[in-house]
Structure 1
């Protein structure tokens, strides 16, 4: 087992990761109210899963207008920073490493989550048919509703958001995170600038590919500035998916250019989200090899990987780490289960979003199971 590709150490900047297994960001909507603060329950949840080579925390909004789902944590108030410190301390005490995923949802929000304000985006295009998770009129009965129509950001507002990311990166460092990951995938704000069919701007942030990548570049640089170390910054991208209404006319060209740009900035890793729904098309290996050529840092892949597919990806050289999302929900000791080939428990879909410890920290370790 010492030659198992999944269990070889890996350097990520100043960190030595003990294995190639990543716990990716997964929204669980259990932040304390009314301040959207990380808490002791979340600390226990992440500490249970500290056997991952790297944990990327759930999407964490960088400013009030960046929130898109009920009961998700923020990282822009002192109380939110203090809450996250509980989490990072618990993970580090258990021997793990954890990055904060910094998140601005853009148009994928609802006025009820924003104090009555309208969501913002690159362009005034509504994400038709896309639903977001809200607390309900009484504040406690959750449900999914159509995302509200957005308005286009002004250039001054774009600059303000870049500064919000810079401040969030500093807050993440203060909270004890080992680094930060920019959520640039799944149809959220950064993605709304990148993809051609979501961006109808005619200024410096729209039109040409270089202009559509400008916001990504400025935010990535802000995160490097905020952490003080490019190797402490990762970027999540979803090159060939069309989640939440973001579609690009030439995704291979667009995302190879994005990967090259991020390599030039020197970020530590790029985290590629593949389509993970049933019968989804597989991302061509030829494209993955092009990404490998374009980006010199660590490449992480996520998307319904089995242990065997993960080992093949790492052995082939186009992946350095592999993220396992849903399996980490019900298997807190997932790395050990993968190492010995033990069966995996299945998660309860009804407890994924909101609630208490049930379906969060009560899944047993293998020995107890």
Structure 2
């Protein structure tokens, strides 16, 4: 019987186990540069089969929160190279999550103080994280966005391609994960609640999915499909995301990914960080049907699941063949040695929610390992 501790071939990568560290925004990279703390934080967690980093902006325009890292400057890439070197020295594998936040931003974070960009000029009922002049972080309402002109979209696709290439060739990552989830730019184009366009990128499901496929093709063309994954969250309400009928939308998306030979699909089940049974539309979302749509379209990539999994639920998902890997978020925040703790059924540290965003080593690199 397959367990979460068994090795797995993930595209071009050989993983030691099927336990993945989920991407976790921590707001500890001033000037968008990962520093000494990030080196320690990620290397502490290198026993994960795969680390997926915190979401990382592909461009200045793609940034939506203070003190999140980037992939668009030489100093940022050099900072990440120190992280990947440390993870590799500890025997781990690490992929970077490629991020454009779209409308989930604030004008003070945008180039020239401009408006955030979105498929349509609809302000999100959501918040972002800023740092005040006194150095204290605070959550504030997102700014009003402007609708992207279709002529701007090839430039954003190119930003994804360039960032992916730099991540592999300069920063030393083993792979990349395209962030297509949680109400950020790609997800905003997918969803009917955020995409009110009437051009080739709006209206029909096929049109709303166009940008996602363009980004996937650009990224895989730059670094190879075997080094590329994508994260999707079919029903999450995170960042004011919504769709009137998510099942056919996301079935279409995964079917379209089926012939693109990706290393993996990373599926957030339910409401991100919340109820696993949350759904939108008239009926519960069918994740088994979603996976079937992918496999029936020829998709061979690994199926990675996320949201609210504990050891028992994860073991069952893998043993039953429902999932190939399971991602853990908050448990990895508080337990750098999570793999060992799960294997030995050791007691788990509880995460300190007050230290999730911003700050220093407290609640970041100071969680103890088990004896």
Q: What TM-score does the superposition give when structure 2 sets the normalisation length?
A: 0.94
Secondary structure at the counterpart of residue 286 of structure 2: helix
Pick aligned residue for 2:109 from 104, 109, 113: 113
How far, CA to CA, are the matches of 1:254 and 1:116 in structure 2? 34
Pick aligned residue for 1:353 from 328, 352, 357: 357
Which 5+ residue runs of structure 2 have no aligned equivalent?
none
Secondary structure at the counterpart of residue 108 of structure 1: coil
- The residue number in structure 2 matching 1:301 is 305
Residue pairs, 1:8-87, within 5 angstroms: 8-31=6-29, 33=30, 35-87=31-83
How far, CA to CA, are the matches of 1:157 and 1:303 in structure 2? 34
- The residue number in structure 2 matching 1:169 is 164
- The residue number in structure 2 matching 1:183 is 179
- The residue number in structure 2 matching 1:239 is 234
Deviation sequence 1:119-140 (CA, Å, 0-9, x none): 0000101112x1100112x162
Which 5+ residue runs of structure 1 have no aligned equivalent?
none
How far, CA to CA, are the matches of 1:16 and 1:47 in structure 2? 18
- The residue number in structure 2 matching 1:149 is 144
Superposition RMSD in Å: 1.5
CA contact (8 A) 1:121 1:153 kept: yes
CA contact (8 A) 1:288 1:318 kept: no
- The residue number in structure 1 matching 2:214 is 218
Structure 1 pair 357–277 and aligned structure 2 pair: CA distance change class (3 A): closer
How far, CA to CA, are the matches of 2:286 and 2:338 in structure 1? 29
How far, CA to CA, are the matches of 1:270 and 1:139 in structure 2? 41
How far, CA to CA, are the matches of 1:4 and 1:299 in structure 2? 14
- The residue number in structure 1 matching 2:89 is 93
How far, CA to CA, are the matches of 2:22 and 2:322 in structure 1? 18
- The residue number in structure 2 matching 1:203 is 199
Q: Post-superposition shift, 1:265?
A: 1.6
Secondary structure at the counterpart of residue 323 of structure 1: strand
Q: Post-superposition shift, 1:141?
A: 2.2
Q: Post-superposition shift, 1:40?
A: 1.9
CA contact (8 A) 2:247 2:286 kept: yes
CA contact (8 A) 2:63 2:101 kept: yes
Pick aligned residue for 1:102 from 98, 104, 124: 98
Q: Post-superposition shift, 1:241?
A: 1.5
CA contact (8 A) 1:57 1:98 kept: yes
Q: Post-superposition shift, 1:288?
A: 2.3
CA contact (8 A) 2:103 2:144 kept: yes
- The residue number in structure 1 matching 2:291 is 292
Secondary structure at the counterpart of residue 258 of structure 2: helix
Where do 4+ consecutive residues of structure 1 move more than 4 Å?
A: 276-280, 282-286
Q: Post-superposition shift, 1:306?
A: 0.7
Deviation sequence 1:304-357 (CA, Å, 0-9, x none): 101010011112212110011000011000011111111110011111111111
Matched positions, count: 360
Structure 1 pair 344–287 and aligned structure 2 pair: CA distance change class (3 A): same
Secondary structure at the counterpart of residue 102 of structure 1: strand
Structure 1 pair 314–286 and aligned structure 2 pair: CA distance change class (3 A): farther
How far, CA to CA, are the matches of 1:201 and 1:286 in structure 2? 25
Q: Post-superposition shift, 1:277?
A: 4.5
